[in-house]
Chains A and B, each alone.
Chain A
Amino acid sequence: MNTDDLIKSLGSELTPLPRGYLTRQIATGLLAGLVGTSVLFFAFWGVRSDLVGIFGDLALFAKTVLPLVLACLALFWLHATARPAGRSGAARLIWSIPLALILLVAMTLVTTPGDAWPMALRGKSIVTCLISIPVLSVPVLIGLLAALRRGAPEHPALCGAVAGLGAGATAAAVYSVYCIENSPLFYASWYSLAVLAVAGCGGILGYFFLRW
């Protein structure tokens, strides 16, 4: 077929686009995933009973809010990576999260006596944390990846990894209201590890499923 004919055919196939189509797809995927994650969370985890204390304690507050901010930044970044030549300032802002974590950890190291560090780091629920966050991230990750099939990422693996980062961070924020660990030493290490693992899985999935 010659190219002019193809262009004519494409012209005759044209249908008007709904506004913000891709954004809506991603939002729908995210929402569907959130429903799944919430159902899982309330069925098998549940909110810790002393959650009200969260507002009085910076470390405890950050445990939920930092992943929440990370999830938002990752979603903006995701929207950019899903589009050819897409750009977003969120990609750079994302570094504020590890920076904040480092500050929090430094503050904790200063205020906690040295012999209490290993205890704080180990906590009581490393395994629970490392399993829960990836499991809770599954519905969101699936929802996002499904929506991203409508996108056109220049780098499918990167796009998948950013989706994983968003899903992992969302799951971490949700899990944080169950988790009874209060020390930044604990969550800066294990939450981060879990979220990065989800991002890695997202990258692998993206590599295979987000080609177009």
Chain B
Amino acid sequence: MTDELDDMGRTREDRWASLLRDANAGGRASYVQFLNDIAPVLRGIIAARCGRPKEDCEDILQNVLIAIHEKRHTWRDGEPVGPWAYAIARYKTVDAMRLSMRRPTVSYDGSELNVADEASHDPTAAADLDRLLGQLDATSALIVRQIRLEGRTAEEVGRTLGMTPGAVRVALHRALAKLSALAVADQTEQSGKARE
């Protein structure tokens, strides 16, 4: 990845640093601006590295953004922001590719859950979903059920759980990613059994 060599690049680095510094002090507007600012750059890095369909890259980008959020304390004021964020993007991209090499690519964004719900004439589908949800922790399963199956909003669910809507959305995002992994693992297992 080319680091900031030109003049514009330098000012960009400075802007990111001051936004992130502000964010770490609790400035939400700066934080959102920082993430919006850096997301296209990260998207480029991810696309160049993963060479997979656009929606997969977008999934990785979202994972990277969550990782940046969770690990924002690993940036030290005074160190460049760009290389820090790029390193996180690289790590998460490699991680995603390593996982996908082990498993066939199945994109899973939660819409499948609605299908399973409607296909109630096929009891195994519902039972399967229950079983998969049962492998999540209770809160995550509850969030997936209420938002994806019952169509409630993150605000409503957040109120009952005592979480902020933002936290609910992030938890939902993570739960869906986990479900996707579980579903794929499940499929591989089943096809393995079928072969025997």
**A-side interface residues toward B, CB under 8 Å?**
1, 3-17, 21-22, 82-86, 150-152, 154, 211-212
Residues of A contacting B79 with CB < 8 Å?
Answer: 85-86
A10 vs B164: C-alpha distance in the bound complex, in angstroms?
11
Contact call A16/B173, Cβ cutoff below 8 A: no
| Least CB separation from A11: chain B residue | B32
Q: Is the interface of A mostly helix, strand, loop or mixed?
A: loop
Please indicate the chain A residues that have their CB under 8 angstroms from the CB of B173 in the complex.
1, 6
Knowing A11-B35, A150-B73, say if A84 contacts B169 (CB, 8 Å): no
Known: A6-B66, A10-B35, A11-B166. A16 touches B61 (CB 8 A): no
CA A82 – CA B109 in complex, angstroms? 32
The reply to whether A12 and B164 form a contact with Cβ atoms under 8 Å apart is: yes
Tell me the nearest residue of chain A to B95, going by C-beta.
A211
28 pairs from A and B in contact (CB 8 Å cutoff): A1-B62, A1-B173, A3-B65, A6-B66, A6-B169, A6-B173, A7-B39, A7-B65, A8-B32, A9-B154, A9-B165, A9-B167, A10-B31, A10-B166, A11-B28, A13-B69, A13-B170, A14-B26, A14-B31, A16-B25, A17-B72, A17-B73, A84-B87, A151-B71, A152-B71, A154-B87, A212-B70, A212-B71
Given A1-B62, A6-B65, A212-B67, A14 and B84 touching (CB < 8 A)?
no
Task: State A8–B67 Cα separation when bound (angstroms).
Answer: 15
Q: Besides A3-B62, A85-B86, 6 other CB < 8 A contacts?
A: A13-B69, A13-B166, A13-B170, A17-B73, A84-B83, A86-B79
**Chain B residue nearest in CB terms to A18:** B73
- Interface positions of B (Cβ within 8 A of A): 23-26, 28-29, 31-32, 35-36, 39, 58, 61-62, 65-67, 69-76, 79-80, 83-88, 90-91, 95, 109, 154, 164-167, 169-170, 172-173
**How many Å lie between the Cα of A152 and that of B95 in the bound state?**
13
Chain B contact residues: over half helix, strand or loop, or mixed?
A: helix
Whether the pair B61, A3 counts as a contact (CB closer than 8 A) is yes
Q: Which of A3, A7, A15, A85 contacts B58 (CB 8 A)?
A: A3
Chain B neighbourhood of A17, CB < 8 A: 24-25, 72-73
Contacts of A212 in B (CB 8 A): 67, 70-71
Expressed in whole angstroms, the Cα–Cα distance for A4 and B43 within the complex equals 13
Q: Which 9 interchain pairs have the tightest Cβ spacing?
A: A12-B166, A84-B87, A16-B26, A11-B32, A9-B169, A9-B166, A85-B83, A152-B71, A13-B166
CB-nearest residue of chain B relative to A22?
Answer: B73
CB distance from B52 to the nearest CB of A (A): 16
Q: Which residue of B lies closest to A7 (CB)?
A: B35
State A211–B166 Cα separation when bound (angstroms): 25
Q: Are B74 and A12 in contact (CB under 8 A)?
A: no
